[in-house]
Copies of this chain bind each other. A is one copy, B any other.
Amino acid sequence: MKRPTIADIARRAGVTKAAVSFALNGQPGVSAATRERILAIAEEIGFQPNSAARALSDGRAGAFGLIIDRPPNMLGIEPWFMQLVAGIQAELSGDHAALLFSTAEDQAAEIAMYRSWWAQRRVDGVFLVDLQINDQRVPVLEELRMPAVVIGTPLGAGSLTAVWQDDAAGIISAVEYLAGLGHRRIARVTGIPRFWHTKIRTDALAEAAQSAGIESISVEADYTRERGAEATRTLLRGPRRPTAIIYDNDLMAISGLISAQRMGVEVPAELSIVAWDDSPLCELVHPPLTALSRDIPAYGAHAARILARVASGEAVGHFQEDPPVLTLRGSTGSPPLVRRLSRAGPPGS
């Protein structure tokens, strides 16, 4: 009925609470025989330590926090988050730690929640996602001396540890692939510009295009269907129409694909499309989308492992994930000019 405590075990084993505690935690101070007897009893009655008592006693909450403040209807269609949580969870459950999760209206609410969690000792640390340029959360967490791991670039992370993936490398691989197909004018439809990863991708695109000797442009958007379609139409109607577009999420990529098709632009014959982040959505449409894929559960698991170490006071350096990999599908191909040339025979002959 009532959940068993160490006192119950102590009584049955004929020892004191302290002996039981030593035995359960592998501390010296009990004989092997007694330890075994205690463990057997604990097992038998299904003992699990009361997390509140342990937290109160050793001063650690045994939990970590994650707050998201993108609009919920936007976030829901990003598989990213769920996979991240699955990865975090896989790692935390090994340590018997829990994950507190919340959504917030805006960054102010998010910060208020960090303060509250920390003051109440609900968490031992937090994961920070969607890091922004001049992010308000970083100085707050630094001031609170609250352990935190930034899931994203170390650039704006201040003194916080970052677990990150090289977004620039993702852009470079896409640009190299497209340039190799013969594309000379590549556009990109961005996510929210104040996010660091958006800026990094924008800079990387400009640089990669320049070093490949081709033209590039980034058009600002915000991950929504509407802005993705709008940006696509603007690009396709403009004077210097690109032959390839990279989208910062798959929703906008699909939105762009459909917009292009409705304008009579054939994909991939007249326009190649690359989505960032691979998800079931990419294979939903026709042609299926070439996409930058990454192992997100692994990302989450690494972040969890690092945060656990940071929270236990260790000084931990940034951790870098493997770069995203381009998964080739039907939405990319040679641009119109190259197609014509190759149909007519090798150039310059």
Contact residues of A with B, CB < 8 Å? Answer: 3, 46-53, 55-56, 61, 63, 72-83, 85-86, 89, 93, 96, 98-103, 113, 116-122, 224-225, 251, 254-255, 258, 262, 279-281, 283-286, 297
Which B residues are in CB contact (< 8 Å) with A76?
77-83, 279
Q: Known pairs A99-B101, A225-B283, A258-B285; list 7 more (Cβ under 8 Å).
A: A51-B121, A53-B56, A76-B81, A96-B116, A99-B100, A251-B284, A255-B284
Contacts of A63 in B (CB 8 A): 100
**Quick one: closest B residue to A109, CB to CB?**
B93
Q: Which residues of B contact A98 (CB under 8 A)?
A: 100, 102, 117, 122
Q: Are B77 and A119 in contact (CB under 8 A)?
A: no
The oligomer's copy count stands at 2
A122 touching B51 in the complex, CB below 8 Å, given contacts A82-B75, A89-B103: yes
Which residues of chain B come closer than 8 Å to A113, judged between CB atoms? 93
User: Pick the contact of A280 from B79, B103, B225, B284 — CB < 8 Å?
Assistant: B225
Q: Contact check: which of B61, B74, B119, B284 meets A52 at CB < 8 Å?
A: B61
Contact present for B52 and A56 (CB under 8 Å): yes
A100 proximity list for chain B (CB < 8 A): 63, 98-101
Q: Evaluate contact between B258 and A224: CB separation under 8 angstroms.
A: no
- Taking a contact as CB atoms under 8 Å apart, the answer to whether B82 and A120 are in contact is no
B72 x A83 contact (CB < 8 A): yes
Across the interface, A50 reaches (CB within 8 A) one of B75, B121, B285, B286, namely B121
Q: Is the CB of B73 within 8 A of A79?
A: yes
In the complex, chain B residues whose CB is within 8 Å of the CB of A116: 48, 96
Across the interface, which residues of B come within 8 angstroms of A101, CB to CB? 85, 99-101
**Min CB distance, A299 to chain B, in Å?**
13
